[in-house]
Every structure is written in structure tokens, then in C-alpha cells.
Amino acid sequence: MSLTNVLFLGALLVLLIYGVMLYNGLVQVKHAVSKAWANIDVLLKQRHDELPKLVETCKQYKQFEQATLQKVIEARSRVQLAREQQDVPALGQAEGLLRAGLGQIFAVAEAYPELKANESFMQLQSRITALENAIADRRELYNEAVNINNVRVEQFPDALIAKLFGFPDRPLLEFAAAEKADVDMKALFG
């Protein structure tokens, strides 16, 4: 075997090993995104299970704002549908509506001293607030994993392997600015 053939086979072997390393790196970031999504999904499911209890506790107070409760129920359904379909952009919109609705429930509850004193309501409020904080933390981790994935599938030479094997960009989980705004207390009590 000539020196040229040995060098050619050596270069080919180095390229093959490099390609395998790129592929394995893309697989790793793809699974990091899936893992981060699964963590969010668990928290959304837990919150989804807690919300009917909160709504039922509020319904016990006959004059409690039914429109506010209805908004939360509808938003909960939208979050559940987006979560099941793994539709991240729709989930972001539905989450914004749900968070706004929960903020309204907690704000309106201020006008109901009996409800605020209800141990069940207070426990649910604490639990849902803790879940909201955990979702925000997991959302940050998810978006970081998505960012790493998206950079890798767009960078050269990773982009060649990503395109060849169908590694997609992933959407960030974002909430609209209006949906993150504080609840307008004057509108609620005005």
C-alpha cells in the first residue's frame, strides 16, 4: 500500500470520526431539549390537576366573579391541549392567559376575607404559586436547551449533519409582553 493511499484512508477515517462526533453532539442536544420539555410537562400537569380545586374553592363563595373563573377554566383547557400536542408557541399564548387569569383570581380574592381565611384556598394558592415559580425556572432551562440546539443546527459544519439527518430547529417557550403584565387592580375593583 502506497503512502498516498495510507494518507487518504487516514484522512477519510478522521473525517468519519469527526462526522460521528458531530452527529452524537446533535443527538445529545436534541435529547436535552426533550428532557427540558418533559420537566415542564410534569409541572404543567401538576398545576393542571390543582386548578379545578382552586376554582371549586372559589365557587363556594357565590358572589365570586364567575367571569374570572371562566377565563381560568378556558385557559386551563387551552394549556392542556397545547401541552398534549407539544405545540410550544400555542402553549406560550395559553400560559400567558392562564397566568393572567390566576393573577386576577388572587387579586379578586383580596375582596373576600372569608376566602382569604379559607385554609384550603391558602394551601392551593401557595401550591400553585410554587408551581408557577418552578415552571418559570424550567422554562428558562428549556429555552437554554433550545438555544443550544438551534445554534448547533445552524452552525457550520454541524448544519450539514443536521440537515442530512433531519435535526430541526425548536421553538422557544415565550410569553407575550401583554400577558406578563401585572393585573390592573383599578379595573378589577373599579
Judged by average pLDDT, the poorest of 12-26, 41-55, 126-140, 163-177 is 163-177
Domains of the chain listed by start with CATH number: 34-153+170-189 (1.20.1440.20)
**Residue-wise burial string across 84-93, b where 16 or more C-beta atoms lie within 10 A, e elsewhere:** eeeebebbbb
**What is the dihedral sign for C-alpha 44, 46, 48, 54?**
negative
Of residues 132, 29, 33, the one with CA closest to residue 86: 33
Q: pLDDT for 75-109, tens place per residue?
A: 999 999 999 998 999 998 998 899 889 988 888 88
Instruction: Return the SS3 of 130.
Output: helix
- pLDDT (mean) for 31-51: 94
Collect all residues with Cβ–Cβ distance below 8 Å to 109 and sequence separation of at least 6. Answer: 58, 115, 116, 121, 125
